[in-house]
């Protein structure tokens, strides 16, 4: 059985690249690894070119917009502007994705992952590596003079951030029951920056508070 939007677009069977995602474990791992890998590749070339500040923001926003446009253009495979919906018929380890038990599990997993990510972020910022990141933010030239490679450091942090964002997506989509271009456009990314700014950019808990308030 294929999703309705694929049937309406003339497909008669599930595309080969979608087939492995019928396995929940593969789907979760791929949803974490693929964005992290893309971030590592894109980030490396951006940071190697020493792009920073507002120019970095412009490039990442442009890539976000291009991804959204690409998603819309792949109507037969992604649902186009409507996105991937009707997740109620999906199964998660044999259980309906929208069943009370599965949804409760996702909620608890979200709370646990939030706590774990906070602890990880706190550990990173309080570690020697965290102090190196502060130094890199304040004076990149001096960090380079001391023998560190800012490109690799920035790429590592960018990749870690993408992995955390991917984890959030893995937990978000099954609970709302839809993923569409509206969730991956420029506006949502700006909203997330507002959350951090509202809660306090200099604190870890600020991002959480900002998201809850907004």
Q: What is the pLDDT of residues 66-101, one digit of tens each?
A: 888 888 888 888 888 888 877 666 777 777 777 888
pTM over 0.75: yes
User: Mean pLDDT throughout 114-120?
Assistant: 94
Q: Which range (37-41, 101-105, 111-115) has the least confidence?
A: 101-105
| Average pLDDT, rounded, for the chain | 86
User: How far is the C-alpha of 104 from the C-alpha of 24, rounded, in Å?
Assistant: 17
Same domain, 154 and 90: yes
CB 68 within 8 A of CB 184: yes
> Do 143 and 193 reside in the same domain of the chain?
no
Q: Based on the fold, state whether residues 102 and 195 are members of the same structural domain.
A: no
- Are 197 and 163 in the same domain? no
Specify whether 165 is located in the same domain as 213.
Answer: no
Residues 95 and 133 occupy one common structural domain: yes
* Residue 68 burial (CB count, 10 A): 20
- Residue-range definition of the domain harbouring residue 203: 184-214
Residue 1 has what pLDDT? Answer: 66
- If one counts the domains in the chain, the total is 2
What is the widest separation between alpha-carbon atoms in the chain? 60
Same domain, 90 and 17: yes
- φ/ψ of residue 180, rounded to 5: -140, 170
Mean pLDDT value across residues 31-43: 94
74 and 123: one domain?
yes
One domain, residues 189 and 171 = no
User: What residues contact 52, with CB distance under 8 A and at least 6 apart?
Assistant: none
Dihedral sign for Cα 195, 197, 203, 209, please: negative
My answer on whether 36 and 133 are in the same domain is: yes
Angle at the Cα of 102 (from 99 to 107), degrees rounded to 5? 120
Question: What is the DSSP secondary-structure string of 91-154?
Answer: EETTEETTSHHHHHHHHHHHHHHHHHHHHHHHHHHHSHHHHHHHHHHH-HHHHHHTT--HHHHH
Is residue 114 located within the same domain as residue 170?
Answer: yes
CA 87/CA 76 separation, integer angstroms: 17
Q: Is it the case that residue 179 has pLDDT exceeding 80?
A: yes
Are 117 and 147 in the same domain? yes
Mean pLDDT to the nearest integer, 2-18: 78
**pLDDT tens sequence across 121-134:** 999 989 999 999 99
């Amino acid at each position: 059985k294929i999703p309705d939007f694929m049937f309406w677009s003339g497909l008669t069977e599930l595309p080969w690249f979608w087939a492995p995602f019928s396995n929940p474990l593969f789907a979760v791992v791929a949803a974490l690894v693929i964005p992290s890998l893309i971030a590592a590749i894109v980030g490396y070339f951006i940071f190697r070119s020493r792009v920073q500040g507002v120019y970095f923001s412009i490039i990442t926003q442009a890539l976000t917009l291009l991804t959204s446009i690409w998603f819309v253009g792949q109507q037969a495979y992604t649902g186009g502007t409507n996105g991937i919906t009707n997740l109620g018929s999906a199964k998660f380890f044999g259980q309906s994705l929208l069943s009370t038990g599965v949804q409760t599990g996702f909620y608890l997993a979200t709370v646990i992952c939030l706590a774990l990510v906070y602890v990880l972020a706190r550990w990173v910022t309080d570690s020697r590596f965290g102090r190196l990141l502060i130094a890199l933010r304040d004076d990149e030239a001096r960090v380079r003079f001391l023998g560190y490679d800012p490109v690799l450091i920035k790429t590592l942090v960018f990749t870690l951030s993408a992995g955390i964002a991917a984890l959030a997506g893995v937990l978000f989509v099954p609970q709302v029951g839809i993923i569409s271009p509206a969730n991956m456009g420029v506006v949502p990314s700006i909203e997330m920056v507002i959350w951090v700014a509202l809660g306090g950019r200099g604190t870890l808990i600020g991002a959480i508070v900002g998201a809850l308030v907004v």
